[in-house]
Each structure stands twice: as C-alpha cells, then as structure tokens.
Structure 1
Amino acid sequence: MNYTLHQLLVFKKVVETGSITKAAEQLHLTQPAVSIQLKNFQDQFDIPLTEVLGRKVQITEFGFEIAELAKNILNQVQEIDSKTMAFKGELIGRLKIAVVSTGKYVMPYFLADFMRLHKSIELNMDVTNKSKVVESLEKNEVDFALLSILPKDLNLEYLDLLDNELYLVGNASSKIGQKNIPEQVINEMPLIFREAGSGTRYAMERFIEGNKIKIQKKMELTSNEAVKQAVLAGLGYSIMPKIGIKNELHLKQLKIIPVKGLPITTKWKLVWLKGKKHMPLPKNYLDFLIKEKETISQSFFSDLI
C-alpha cells in the first residue's frame, strides 16, 4: 500500500461530513479533487470503504474503522510536528473552537494575544447556533467550545472566562423606564425571543417562568443580531446579553429597562469533553487562558465587570 497523508485527511473529512461536497468546502479543494483522492485511496483496498446510494456517499463498516485509524495517524503526525516545533520554541497546528453566536463578542479577545505569541498556528473558529456547537463537542470535532449554558446530557469540563449579564432592553424612544416597573407592563410588552435551543432563550424563559409572567405578544428571531435590530426598530423588547449591545448603549440607541430580578447572570465558559487528551497546541492555549483570563477581562470588559 502506498497511500498518502493527504489521502487519509481527505477520507477522514468525507467520513466526518458524509459528503464529498462538504469535505471539499472544508478542505478548500474542488469537488473533483476530493473525488480523485478518494478513488485513489479506495483503489488500495479490496474491501469497499464507501457506497454510493442514490446521490449520497455511504460509509461502510470497514470504512468507519479505517477512518478511525486515519484519525489516529493524523493526530500522531500533528503531535510529531508539534513536538518538533516545541523543541524549537514554537507551536504549530490548528486550534478548533465552536462558539455560540453571541460568543462572537467574547472569544476573539481571549484569542488575540495567544495568536500573536504563536504566529505559526492556524485558527478555525465556527460561530453557529448552540445545537451545532453541542454537536461539534459530542463528535469531538473541536478542541473547545464557548457556551454560557451547559448542556445537561454531556460530561464536560470547563473554565469560567467572563460573566454574562442579561437585561431587559428597549430602544431609546421607549417610554418605559421607571425603576421596578409593574409586572403588568411586562405582560403587555411585545417580547422578542431567540430561537428554541439558544442559551439566551433558555435564560429568558427561566426568568419568565420563575416570575409567573404571562406573555401576551411574542416574536421569535434566529440570531442575536436580528433581535437587536428588531429592538432598535421598535418592534418590541427583549432580554439580551449586555456584551452584545455595548455600542448601542453607549450611542444611546438602546436602553436598559430596570426590572426586579434582572440582570440574569450566567458565565461564559470554555468547555471540552471530560477526559479529553489535549494535543500540545490546545493544552498550551488552556494554560495561557488560566494564567491570563483575568487580565484579558480587565483590559477589554472592565465596563461589564
């Protein structure tokens, strides 16, 4: 057999994505290039690795076993490279992090100094919804994830990075602003929710249920940015993370409406699967955060602390 590391990488990615097209996108290759590498890899085995049923690629049982071995080989190769560079005082490799959508206001600041210190490393940061972040963790596709609400059915370890405070927010022209506003006023507000499964949505629902508030008017939008734009436009009110509306508060385009029981405070957490054996790069990053997280918080988020 004479397969290459590149063929192992291509096959592993096809198995992970279940699609030649998606594998090509993630590897930044053309679809024909992936198909050729897959065929050249398959030609070295007498047992099928894949089957084409309809227009879908199906992985055989043998294919899954080979993919697992390919993954181990590629990890070992990365470790060899990492150890070599470590002896030279450098880190290399790709740091893979999945981030919930509101976390885009947080994670870059906890990465910037580390990336500047280690110019040879690559970053793959996937900003997506909570369900996809949790799925990436479950499949062990990422080194870390950034969440504010931990999933109940995953055994995780985590490092607290920053407080996440959620307030009731309206646009600047809102007439509601007195302290301790009556509960009936909240009931009459058109409230704007994030989509089901969002950490912000979960915190918002717990507050509403805990205070026995009955919502008369309700809207649902699928991103924090969409909710913010809707509130700016005067479509309604929402309970939102302060970190995502700092600029709008500063410009007096939005305002926090004082309500008893708010803010809701959660924690932004860097999480990983319990028992995960980190490669040198993610291990170094975790060590860096443990040492520097307080300094980063004070430098960039002092107005939130």
Structure 2
Amino acid sequence: MNYTLHQLQVFLKVTQTESITKAAEELHLTQPAVSIQLKNFQEQFDIPLTEVVGRKLYITDFGKEIALAAEKIVEQVNAINFKTASFKGQLTGRLKISVVSTGKYVMPYFLADFLKANPGIELKLDVTNKAMVINSLDENEIDFALVSILPEAMQVEAIPLMENKLYLVANKDFDLIQKVYGKEIFEKITLIFREHGSGTRLTMERYLRKNNIPVSKKLELTSNEAVKQAVIAGLGCSVMPLIGLRNEIKDGDLKIIPVNDLPIVTTWNLIYLKNKRFSPVAEAFLEYLHLEKENIIKQYFNWFEGVH
C-alpha cells in the first residue's frame, strides 16, 4: 500500500458526492485529475471500491468501509494542522453550524467578524430545512443550529438572537384597496406553502389552524427562494419571513399585505445540545455572541426592526 493523503481526500469526496463531477467541483480540480487519482487509489486494492451502473457511480460495500477509514485519517491530519496552528498562538479548529433555509440571511452577519479575527478557524455551514437541521443536531454532527421554532422532543440550550417576523406578501400588481385586511383575505388568494419539514410552513400552518382559516387554493414549493420567485411572478401570495425580502420590497417587486394579527413573530435562536462538550472554537464563538450580538443587530438589522 502506497496511497497518498491526496488520494484519500479525493476518494472520500467521491464517496460523499457519489459523482466525479461534483467531487471535482468541490475540490476545485478538473474531472480528469479526480479520475486519475481515483484510478491510482483503486489500483492498490484487489476489490472494487466503486462501480458504474448505467451512467451512475455507486460505492461498493468495501468502498464504504475504506471511506470510513479514510475519513478518520483525514480528520486526524486536520487535527494535527489545527494543533500546529494553536501552538503558534492562533485559535484554530472547525466550527460546524446548520441553519434553516431563511437563516442564511441571518447567520453570516453573526459569523463574519468572528472569522475575520480568527483566520485559523474552518467553518462548515449547512443550509437546509428545519427537519434536516434538527436531525444533524440530534446526531451530534454539528456544534450549533439556527432555528426559529425550538424542537419539542430534544433537550437543548438556546441563545435568542433576534426577532423573526413573517408577513403576508404579494407581487407588485396586487391592488391594496384596504388599509388593513381581515383574515378572510386568505380565502380569496392562492396561498403558496413551503414543503413539509420547513419551519416557515409549520409557523404558517399553526397560524391558519389557530384562526380557523380555510385555504381554498394552494401551491407547494421546496425552497424559500422558489416561493419568493413564484410570488413575484404572480402565482399567488405567501406568508414569508421579512428577513429575506429586503431588496424585493425596496425595489417594489413585492409588497406587504397588511392583515390583522400579522406579522407572526418568532425568535431566531442558536441552539445546542444540553451538556454539549464544546471545542475551544465553539466556546469562543459563544462568548463572542454574548458580547457582540446587540451590536451586530444594530449594525445590520435596523431596517428589519423598523418595518411594521
């Protein structure tokens, strides 16, 4: 056996993506370069690591076992690199955070200055729906999760960051003939929902149930951006977090429909497992948030607080 660290890293990325093309993109390599490294790595084993059926790449059971070993080796190499940097007086390590899809408009502002001050930190930020975020937290795969609805079946600690306001929004052609609408407006519009597992959808459904509001026509889309574009195109209206609509409202592509009892107000919380043993990086980030979160809100989210 004479495989290199680079071959291990390439093979691991191929197993994670199940695609030479995607692996090449994530590693910033060409597809031929990835194929050559994979071929050279395979030549050191008598048992196939991968197989191609049709045009799809599959990882064999043996390949999956080798990938697990490769992951441990790569993690140990990263740990050596982090320890080397720490002896030079730098805060180093990996910070792993998962955020719900709308949280991508929030979390970067709470990370930017912290990462600039600590260039030795490697960030892994995953953006997905609420169900996947909670699963990653439950499996202890991440340090923190950003959610607007706290999980009911898990023991977590929470750091409130800022308010999350959800309004009923329509496109620029919606005729606002009333200053304030009653709940009956929901019976007259096509309502666009996020997919099941989304925190935004759960919040909207709770509001509709609480107020006994029937929905006559609805669409379902699988991302916040898709919902936004559908509303702009005039396919319907939706209850959406204001945090992701700043430019569209400013440019006049979207407008808020004033409705009694709206906005729905929740709170963005950074959560972590109770009794979680933090790395020095995660501990430092917690301390940074406690010291700086109010300044961050004032600097970047004043516009948000002023919308009614």
Length-normalised TM-score, structure 2: 0.78
Q: Show the counterpart of 2:244.
A: 244
Q: Deviations over 1:36-57 (max 9, x none)?
A: 2223223334444334444444
Assess, with a 3 A threshold, how the Cα gap between structure 1 residues 199 and 276 changes in structure 2: closer, same or farther. same
- In structure 2, the partner of 1:165 is 165
Whole-angstrom distance in 1 between the partners of 2:42 and 2:156: 37
Distance 1:113 1:193 in 2: 35
Q: 1:239 is paired with a residue of what secondary structure?
A: strand
Output aligned runs, 1:123-202, within 5 Å.
Answer: 123-130=123-130, 144-149=144-149, 159-171=159-171, 174-179=175-180, 181-202=181-202
C-alpha contact (below 8 Å) 2:129/2:199 kept by paired residues = no
The 5-angstrom pairing of residues 243-282 of structure 1 reads 243-249=243-249, 254-260=255-261, 262-271=262-271, 280-282=280-282
Aligned residue runs from structure 1 range 86-101, under 5 A: 86-92=86-92, 95=95, 97-101=97-101
Look up the match of 2:213: 213
Which range is displaced more, 35-44 or 129-138?
A: 129-138
Q: CA deviation at 1:228?
A: 3.5
Instruction: Indicate how the Cα distance of structure 1 residues 235 and 41 shifts in structure 2: closer, same or farther if over 3 A, else same.
Output: closer
Amino acid across the alignment from 2:161: L
1:205 deviation in Å?
A: 1.4
1:157 deviation in Å? 6.1
Cα 1:286–1:29 change in 2 (3 A) is farther
Question: Once the two structures are superposed, what CA deviation does each residue of 1:85-105 show, in whole Å capped at 9, x if it has no partner?
Answer: 122222456655444332221
1:215-230 equivalences under 5 Å are 215-230=215-230
Per-residue deviation, residues 185-224 of structure 1 (Å, max 9, x unmatched):
3322332323343221221112112222111232334443
**Offset, 1:241:** 0.8
| Letter of the 2:15 counterpart | V
> Residues 46 and 286 (structure 1 numbering): CA distance in 2 closer, same or farther, change over 3 Å?
farther
Superposed displacement of residue 132, structure 1: 5.9
2: CA distance, partners of 1:177 / 1:246: 23
Q: What residue is the counterpart of 1:31 in the other structure?
A: 31
Q: Which moved more, 1:282-291 or 1:137-146?
A: 137-146
Deviations 1:112-158 (A, max 9, x none): 11122123445454545556656766787765543334567877665
Contact 2:182 2:259 in 1 (8 A): no
**Structure 1 residues 113-132: aligned runs within 5 Å:** 113-130=113-130
Structure 2 match to 1:85: 85
Compute the RMSD of aligned alpha carbons. 3.5
Where does structure 2 lack aligned partners over 5 or more consecutive residues? none
2:167, 2:256 within 8 Å by CA — same for their partners in 1? no
Deviation at 1:269, TM superposition (A): 3.4
What's the counterpart of residue 66 of structure 2?
66
Secondary structure of 2:295's counterpart equals helix
SS in 1 for 2:169: strand
Q: Give the aligned residue type for 1:49.
A: L
Q: Aligned partners of 1:7, 1:140: CA distance in 2, in Å?
A: 28
Q: Percent identity?
A: 58
Partner residue, 1:13? 13
Contact persistence 2:83–2:92 (CA under 8 A): no
Aligned-partner residue type, residue 18 of structure 1: E
Q: Secondary structure at the match of 1:168?
A: strand
- Give the match's secondary structure for 1:111: helix
| CA distance in structure 1 between the partners assigned to 2:102 and 2:268 by the alignment | 10
C-alpha change, 1:91 and 1:190, in structure 2 (3 Å) is same
